Structure 1
């Protein structure tokens, strides 16, 4: 190691910025010694190269053979960012580690974040009230009433843990705050009298952490389990990824938006198969894309499957940092360092990519995506043709009688980090609203409208531009600053619609400016959800339906009964640009972010416990001491598993929403029954996402999505299975409980892309606690595969061309699994004694996966190390 340190010291260099001399690790100095041209390396990999050189204090030789040979590197981000749905269980685990150490005579304070951690409370506000001026305050009051225990716990954590900063509720969405305020792009530290500069890197417990890639900050979403490990100083091992270069040319046509572009990119790259890869954008079209437009694309990276979606630092980056009130000194430092260490984008750069795609921006057309996958692109002109059903629903609202058909809207929401960080999109929507109001247009009474921006800057510039009042008049009043509809916090439909749709199971629709539209996610009563830009959300809301061609048909009629078309309302790009210049200013960002941590008076007044160890309350239905650390078991190698029964058999595209839903808790579900047994009334159930600090609720919610389809019980939609010993049809939790009582281990069979979607740790924790020993799937989404390993659950992958159905497996079999190196040998025996034998690949993808598994997961491993038991 001493030789390694001496070796790497040769690659240290200095530069001066703002009169201060900074040391840095010069990636080109190392490359030149290796006769390696660092300028051919993608910019995203240059960041990884610098990290490897600096953190490992050894030469990063794996980069010399990229992309021909796969090689592993350690990734230790400089900071971690959490949202509250995933942040609460992460901090509950850390608190549980402290409690476990205390019981063994250790020091609880040994469990503490080693890197800066920001937790933004943005996932708890629900759209209980919408469409009027009282909505915002009403929703806040209900949010605090519902989440009092959770917020008390977070306040305790704020005083108990070092390196933890909590952004209070009702201030903004995690990714927009990261983009506009938290991200430094280049970080500095001082050791003695020596100043160091290095790239800002981040992981977050929300898959859309990739949004910050727009600024040239490398980072991505991880499961809460991996984030906890990063918080505690553990490196994540990863193969140096393949990098897909996307060459952009020309510029967007008039009348199209960054959302249209992002949805097109999503379709393009999902088809290309970028799962587990980096995407990096380059080409002559790059310079014309603002950071806000880039952020809209980068935010959608999980939807097209990429680990990261990187835009190198360039002049647009520096312009945006100035706009968002970063200091002149910081901007100069970023420019100096990025130029000095080959991280500033050169327009004539000739990076070598492992694969390439091209996209002509001039070909982008107005589009939507749906009805339940973000990659299913639909041109605006073709949307109407997706709704051919003649089924009708009669409903009376505000003394108006409506005969609704499939494609008519129950929800129209301008929401989500994806689009509300983009002033062009929101000002366009505001100008459309202004013209619509002037023409006398109104949104039909059956549509629930809402507006949930990502930061207070948005409402400030909309008000300054005189546009918020027009949005209010159409029902797009502020409902909260948070991830509302897109996460499933849409609240109930309008009362008459709620009753009518629930009684008939009518296929009502929704439109949102979000990034996720998986079945059952936005609202359990909504069948068809489409993603679209804020202007299109507003336009379709005025029409009241998706069953319309907005390019040729009027969306309404004015005071004089004359038709009003979308083209009549759509503003010129020059008008939008003028409003941005006038109203989106550094002074606005400075004013709104000055009180980010102190503005919420309700949060400030909240009284919470203190001390190093958390005082667990046995009767709490929100925060409970999890069982993960109470018995620290250890495996030697890979055990032979026998007598496994199939808990569930799934097809393709099972999402983490299916495995661990975030939204509505049904009254008659195992979780609902548990809460009622704890004297919680159904009106106070809140959501699964808000109760992730309580494993009793989350175990019962595992595989409980109302839209999940278990092929073992094809006749019943939802979280049901067959308990094979008695052939009973039971809720999955009830069956798993019976299996555990009998000492029977479980297996899940699945198709392609198992675990796609949000980075949800409970999707792995839940199946672990249900007794699942292995998941055998055709393929896994990156984050979920890692989470399974980190919880001590084996991810096994069918051989190419094989799956459970092709092998003739119906789920009634008993499974035995043995191992030789990275191959699993599976024997499935049916009731008649017939055996089906096949091999599967053990998806241990990094050098530490076996260590995690042998320790029953990464968190017990970390606790052992902290307690000096490893």
Structure 2
């Protein structure tokens, strides 16, 4: 039977279940990726599992989010992560070496391998012909321990690319076109596989741009074939021997189909405050801007900086505009210097920042209040930039650079110049010195835990009955940024759940924390709309709320990663059988779920009683039998510990 690329990758790693849409499967994981905002918790979880060393082919820990060292917290985390890498056998990417996704692509990505990362944009590695999936940190810790990764078998969505991109249109416009058509939930439950003659003109780094923002569609993964473009990229990184060809079979079938004629695309832009709010740049041209930002995991390639440099070469950006350049890796920064790209940007007025995530996750470079910030980043959720009343637009490097010169949103096709061309060098100036290899097995290393590293909270098993108030009711598409924000204040507390929990829902309701602490022991509920928990993979948006007493979330539907994170930490995810029931519940209503343990054991229907209004609602839990066991135990960690204890007793 003919197979597409995604099916080949899944079939070669399938260890549990069958490849039938919606059935839970288990996949062998070859590589894992963690970053510092999520990695500290992953290392604490791995320590709790009691496994002496990672059992993957390769695991890598990057320090790219929490680079500011305003006090002891971030430096303490860096030392802890370094010691954990030494102790547990991971590669360690030092602070300032760059964003995890492009660095992993440069140094470790291998066609045909699986990659699981505690960052939702791990899917970027699909650009190399990998099956790369973002997940909660606890699942990554389990994969590091050699356990399979479990997921419901996705549908494979084939997107055929034809034609060729016109001048002033680039890869960012391709993924923005996908978001314009399908919005932020269009990829839920699907792997997007791009194919067709339009791939011929897309480099591996162009594909990275598209694959990275598959996360914004809600997709499980994005897959490209491993073809000549991938071969050229790996060769340029001095890793040509890692390449192997992986193509879809002739006449391979897909569960769903779409087609994009690249020749018909124009410059696009996502308006505040959703990546799916996309319009042509020409429709909003002329709006005054404060900031233009180049870089991030969504536009990380040398080409993206070079095109911007050629556009501003010999000119000065508008004196009102903060022109922020955020190199994505130390290696790319060195190549920018060697090729004269950086000098052009600096001369034109660019503000240079260190290689890392930076302003993309609100770690500096925050825009002025209520002013427009154009960014080549993947997300523009409210307040993510670090400014609560932000107005962040997502665009290509071409649009960002053209607008920086004019001081207003500018369609780059209106520039009085020929479209600049940039050809990737056949060989790059390589930088491997900032990557610290794993220590030899058996070497004695102790974890270095500063005062900001706190133990995981104790999580009790699910009780027989849940009862408590609805502390908050939120709308559709609430993101994990809205639940547990990023930024310079919250991010340094990722390994300190009691302190981090003080930021829960702070972007939406500053009283939430105090009200939650008031009923922490009794427990509480959240009511949400569709696609609850979209965005980042951060499991803190589940664990932090569990610490505050959250027992269940009632929503119309859940984003994939957050649904798993809720299950991992014993919070019941419940969906309304009748979505209209969502409207009947008000913030402050007291809900009760009697005999809840038996209810989730027997089936997926759960009866919820509104004690305040004397109403009853039928809900369903979307958990698999494996996830039900986690919920009953109170968390996946509790379940694993219990199984290990039972095994030792039997032996």
TM-score interval, smaller chain:
over 0.9
* 8 Å CA contact retained: 2:318, 2:407: yes
Q: What's the offset of the Cα at 1:569?
A: 3.9
The residue number in structure 1 matching 2:300 is 420
Summarize the Cα distance change of 1:858–1:164 in structure 2 as closer, same or farther, 3 Å threshold: same
* 8 Å CA contact retained: 2:375, 2:394: yes
The SS at the match of 1:77 is coil
Summarize the Cα distance change of 1:72–1:816 in structure 2 as closer, same or farther, 3 Å threshold: closer
The residue number in structure 1 matching 2:363 is 489
TM-score, normalisation: structure 2: 0.92
1:694 aligns with 2:496: yes
Distance 2:106 2:271 in 1: 29
Structure 1 residues not aligned, in runs of 5+: 1-36, 99-107, 127-141, 186-198, 336-342, 386-406, 502-506, 552-565, 600-609, 665-686, 709-717, 720-730
Distance 2:235 2:385 in 1: 36
Q: What's the offset of the Cα at 1:282?
A: 1.6
The residue number in structure 1 matching 2:433 is 595
The residue number in structure 2 matching 1:449 is 323
* 8 Å CA contact retained: 2:530, 2:556: yes
1:238 aligns with 2:165: no
* 8 Å CA contact retained: 2:168, 2:398: no
* 8 Å CA contact retained: 1:71, 1:239: yes
* 8 Å CA contact retained: 1:443, 1:474: no
The residue number in structure 1 matching 2:476 is 652
The residue number in structure 2 matching 1:676 is none
The SS at the match of 2:103 is helix
* 8 Å CA contact retained: 2:161, 2:195: yes
* 8 Å CA contact retained: 2:271, 2:392: yes
Summarize the Cα distance change of 1:663–1:277 in structure 2 as closer, same or farther, 3 Å threshold: same
The residue number in structure 1 matching 2:198 is 285
* 8 Å CA contact retained: 1:430, 1:462: no
* 8 Å CA contact retained: 1:381, 1:550: no
Aligned residue pairs total: 637
Distance 1:690 1:474 in 2: 33
Q: What's the offset of the Cα at 1:449?
A: 2.5
* 8 Å CA contact retained: 1:412, 1:449: yes
Q: Deviations over 1:698-717 (max 9, x none)?
A: 12122222xx2xxxxxxxxx
* 8 Å CA contact retained: 2:4, 2:248: no
1:840 aligns with 2:619: yes
Q: What's the offset of the Cα at 1:463?
A: 2.7
* 8 Å CA contact retained: 2:296, 2:357: yes
TM-score, normalisation: structure 1: 0.70
1:431 aligns with 2:310: yes
Q: What's the offset of the Cα at 1:836?
A: 1.3
Q: What's the offset of the Cα at 1:352?
A: 1.3
C-alpha RMSD of the superposition? 2.4
* 8 Å CA contact retained: 1:456, 1:592: no
Map 1:604-619 to 2 at 5 A.
Answer: 614=447
The residue number in structure 2 matching 1:459 is 333
Q: What's the offset of the Cα at 1:616?
A: 5.1
Q: What's the offset of the Cα at 1:613?
A: 5.5
1:173 aligns with 2:99: yes
**Candidates 453, 464, 473, aligned match of 1:623:** 453
Distance 1:549 1:451 in 2: 20
**Candidates 518, 522, 532, aligned match of 1:754:** 532
**Candidates 641, 664, 668, aligned match of 2:465:** 641
The residue number in structure 2 matching 1:474 is 348
* 8 Å CA contact retained: 2:295, 2:305: no
* 8 Å CA contact retained: 1:828, 1:837: yes
Q: What's the offset of the Cα at 1:471?
A: 0.5
The residue number in structure 2 matching 1:73 is 25
* 8 Å CA contact retained: 1:181, 1:593: no
Distance 1:538 1:525 in 2: 25
The residue number in structure 1 matching 2:603 is 821
Q: What's the offset of the Cα at 1:851?
A: 1.7
Map 1:718-733 to 2 at 5 A.
Answer: 718-719=509-510, 731-733=511-513
Summarize the Cα distance change of 1:768–1:44 in structure 2 as closer, same or farther, 3 Å threshold: same
Distance 2:23 2:608 in 1: 29
Summarize the Cα distance change of 1:773–1:144 in structure 2 as closer, same or farther, 3 Å threshold: closer
1:216 aligns with 2:216: no
Q: What's the offset of the Cα at 1:733?
A: 1.6
* 8 Å CA contact retained: 1:258, 1:296: yes
**Candidates 364, 367, 373, aligned match of 2:265:** 364
* 8 Å CA contact retained: 2:272, 2:380: yes
Q: What's the offset of the Cα at 1:146?
A: 5.7
Q: Deviations over 1:817-838 (max 9, x none)?
A: 54251001111022xxx41111
The SS at the match of 1:804 is helix
Q: Mean Cα displacement is larger for which, 809-818 or 360-369?
A: 809-818
1:158 aligns with 2:110: no
Distance 1:847 1:449 in 2: 51
Summarize the Cα distance change of 1:442–1:593 in structure 2 as closer, same or farther, 3 Å threshold: closer
The residue number in structure 2 matching 1:576 is 422
* 8 Å CA contact retained: 1:508, 1:525: no
Summarize the Cα distance change of 1:449–1:643 in structure 2 as closer, same or farther, 3 Å threshold: same
1:739 aligns with 2:519: yes
Q: Deviations over 1:303-344 (max 9, x none)?
A: 1111111112222221221122114x433xx24xxxxxxx43
Map 1:482-561 to 2 at 5 A.
Answer: 482-491=356-365, 501=369, 507-546=370-409
Q: What's the offset of the Cα at 1:145?
A: 6.2
Distance 2:131 2:317 in 1: 44
1:378 aligns with 2:287: no
The residue number in structure 2 matching 1:812 is 589
The residue number in structure 1 matching 2:440 is none
Q: Deviations over 1:256-292 (max 9, x none)?
A: 1111112112222337822121111122222232211
The residue number in structure 1 matching 2:53 is 112
1:47 aligns with 2:9: yes
Q: What's the offset of the Cα at 1:810?
A: 4.6
Summarize the Cα distance change of 1:79–1:213 in structure 2 as closer, same or farther, 3 Å threshold: same
The SS at the match of 1:153 is helix
1:789 aligns with 2:627: no
The SS at the match of 2:625 is coil
Q: Deviations over 1:367-426 (max 9, x none)?
A: 1112111111121110148xxxxxxxxxxxxxxxxxxxxx533332112011122x3332
Map 1:4-153 to 2 at 5 A.
Answer: 37=1, 39=2, 41-52=3-14, 55=15, 62-63=18-19, 66-67=20-21, 70-95=22-47, 97=48, 110-115=51-56, 116-126=58-68, 142=69, 147-153=74-80
* 8 Å CA contact retained: 2:470, 2:586: no
Distance 1:360 1:279 in 2: 17
The SS at the match of 1:259 is helix
Q: Deviations over 1:488-517 (max 9, x none)?
A: 112455xxx6xxx4xxxxx21211110011
1:303 aligns with 2:144: no
Q: Deviations over 1:186-234 (max 9, x none)?
A: xxxxxxxxxxxxx311100111111110110001100112111212222
